[in-house]
Amino acid sequence: MRNLALAALFVLFASFCAAQNGANWNYSGHTGPLVWGKLDPSYAACGHGHEQSPVDIRGARLNKALQPIQFHYIAGPVTLENTGRGIVVHVDKGSSIVAGGVRYELVEYEFHHPAEHPVHGKLTDMEVDLVHRSADGKLAILGVRLNEDRGTPNATMATLWSHLPTQAGASGRVTDMIDARGLIPADPGYWTYTGSELTPPCSEGVQWFVYEEPIDVSREQLRQFTALFRLNTRPIQEMHGRKIEANE
């Protein structure tokens, strides 16, 4: 009886963990993007949502009422994590943006190869997505596309890349003063649309701001990343009548 009770407790604990963390997913194979919506009930939006990301940026309409994003970033230490699916940079509290009159706190940013958002069907080499959350829990994500360049490497990326954790599950504290503003293009022009998180559970209602101007990634930085992750992007999603606007 004691063994049966222990077994029952184990099953309950396993079920609780699955409910908390969701089913395992990846970017290829039998747990790839085409089946994300079937892997776990909490991932249903991945398969049936009508405001999913990423999308192909085309047909944007100019909206002169859209204002440039205001940055209030603070340089400081960060924590780099290799999730086994990509590199996530976790930041300390204090950095924020104001977009559309709403303040969003910077939570983390993550790198993808190739870019998640094509422009007229053309992808750049990488994309960094800076995730922000408002006081009421709404998300705003800044998408910055990266193109390989043989010139001077991006200084912020150079510092981060010198600390890249190469093993899945590994993480490390970077004590250098990292300013995420170094990942934002000088040109304030952006495209914006309503979409979703890029990974399960693919929650919708996310306000996306994709910068028009790419930044540079060096050949060596690109090589280092692709040696770890050959592909960690989601396929393009249907628009379902959504509109893309441009601020200039």
Each residue's pLDDT tens digit, 133-172: 999 999 999 999 999 987 777 999 999 999 999 999 999 9
How many residues belong to the chain? 248
For 229, the domain range is: 47-246
Residue 54 predicted with pLDDT over 70: yes
Q: Is residue 238 part of a domain?
A: yes
Which has more confidence, 75 or 19?
Answer: 75
Distances in Å between the alpha carbon of 224 and those of 176, 220, 227? 20, 6, 5
The domain total for the chain is 1
DSSP state of 28: S
Give pLDDT, residue 21.
63
Q: Is residue 211 part of a domain?
A: yes
Q: Which value, to the nearest 10 degrees, does the dihedral of the CA atoms of residues 72, 135, 209, 164 take?
A: 70
Name the residue type at position 149.
D
Q: Is residue 133 part of a domain?
A: yes
Percentage with pLDDT > 70 across the chain: 92
Mean pLDDT of 10-35: 69
Instruction: Please list, residue by residue across 71-88, b when 16 or more beta carbons sit within 10 angstroms of its beta carbon and e when fewer do.
Output: bebbebebbbbbbeebbb
Q: Is residue 177 part of a domain?
A: yes
pTM higher than 0.85, yes or no? yes
Q: Is residue 241 part of a domain?
A: yes
- The enclosing domain of 150 has a CATH number of 3.10.200.10
Residue 8 predicted with pLDDT over 90: no
Is the C-alpha dihedral spanning 118, 216, 228, 53 positive or negative?
A: negative
Residues 6+ apart with CB under 8 A from 141: 129, 130, 131, 132, 206, 207, 208, 209
Distances in Å between the alpha carbon of 139 and those of 5, 24, 179, 199? 43, 23, 21, 14
Q: Is residue 83 part of a domain?
A: yes
Residues 6+ apart with CB under 8 A from 189: 211, 212, 213, 246, 247, 248
Q: Is residue 29 part of a domain?
A: no
Q: Three-class SS of residue 133?
A: strand
Q: Is residue 11 part of a domain?
A: no
Q: How many CB atoms lie within 10 A of CB 223?
A: 11
Give pLDDT, residue 153.
79
Residue 198, φ and ψ in degrees, nearest 5: -85, -10
